[in-house]
Amino acid sequence: PGLVRADEYDAISQLPLVQQTLEKMETANIVFTTVSEITPDISDIEVILRRVKIGTSPQIHKYIQRIKPHQPVGLLAARPFNIKGEIFDDDHPVVKPPWRYVGFNVKRLRKLVRDRTGKVVVVTGAESSRVQPLIGLLNGELVSTLVTDSVTAEQILQSSL
C-alpha cells in the first residue's frame, strides 16, 4: 500500500502495473500483513506522514486533531485504527484524510474474514505494545489468523476477558 495525494490518485491507480496489482489483490484469498502500534499521543502518525511528504503541515495537523478523539492504537498498512477496529482511511465518513491509500481494500479484508472465504494472516513480533493493536484488528474482524508468540497471545486473551 502507498499513500498518495488525492489529486494524484486517479493517475497513479490507472498505471498498468498498479492496476494489475490492485486487480490481483481483489481476487486474493490469502493476505499476509503486519500491524504497528501507535503511541498514545499519536505523534508517530505525524512523523510518518511528514517522512513520506504526504500533504502539507496544516493538512497533517488537522488530520491528527480529527483522529485523536477516536484513540487510534495501531496501523494496518499505514491506515490508523482504534481498539474497536474502526479504520481511519479514505472510506471513513468523519475522519477522512486529505490523501488516498493505494493498496488492498479494507472492506474486502473484512469480507474475507466474516464470510470465511479467505484468510487474512497477521504476523507480529513478541512485543506487549502490539497487544492493543491486535485486539483492535480482532474486534474489527480484520484478521482470521494471528501468528505471534505465546506471551503476546496470553496478554491478548487476558485483555479480552
Q: What angle do CA 103, 109, 111 make, to 5 degrees?
A: 140
Residue 110, all three cell numbers: 473484512
Distance CA 65, CA 68 (A): 5
pLDDT of 129 higher than 80:
yes
pLDDT of 157 higher than 70:
yes
- Residue 85 burial (C-beta neighbours within 10 Å; 0-12, 13-18, 19+): buried
What's the pLDDT score for residue 142?
92
Give the closest residue to 42 by CA, choosing from 5, 81, 3, 10: 81
**What does pTM read for this prediction?**
0.87
More confident: 155 or 77 = 155
Name beta bridge partners: 122.
Answer: 33, 146
Split at pLDDT 50, 70, 90, the class of 155 is very high
* DSSP letter assigned to residue 161: -
What's the pLDDT score for residue 17?
94
Q: pLDDT for 7-53, tens place per residue? A: 888 999 899 999 999 899 888 999 888 888 998 888 888 888 888 77
Q: What are phi and psi of 73, to 5 degrees?
A: -115, -15
Mean pLDDT of the chain: 88
pLDDT of 161 higher than 70:
no
When pLDDT is averaged across residues 67-76 and rounded to a whole number, the result is: 92
Q: pLDDT for 112-126, tens place per residue? A: 899 998 888 888 777
More confident: 1 or 102 = 102
Q: What is the dihedral of CA 120, 122, 123, 125, to 10 degrees?
A: -170
Q: How far is CA 150 from CA 79, 99, 138, in A?
A: 26, 38, 17
pLDDT of 82 higher than 90:
yes
More confident: 32 or 2 = 32
pLDDT of 1 higher than 70:
no
Q: CB under 8 Å to 1, separation ≥6 — which residues?
A: 77, 78, 79, 101, 102, 103, 104
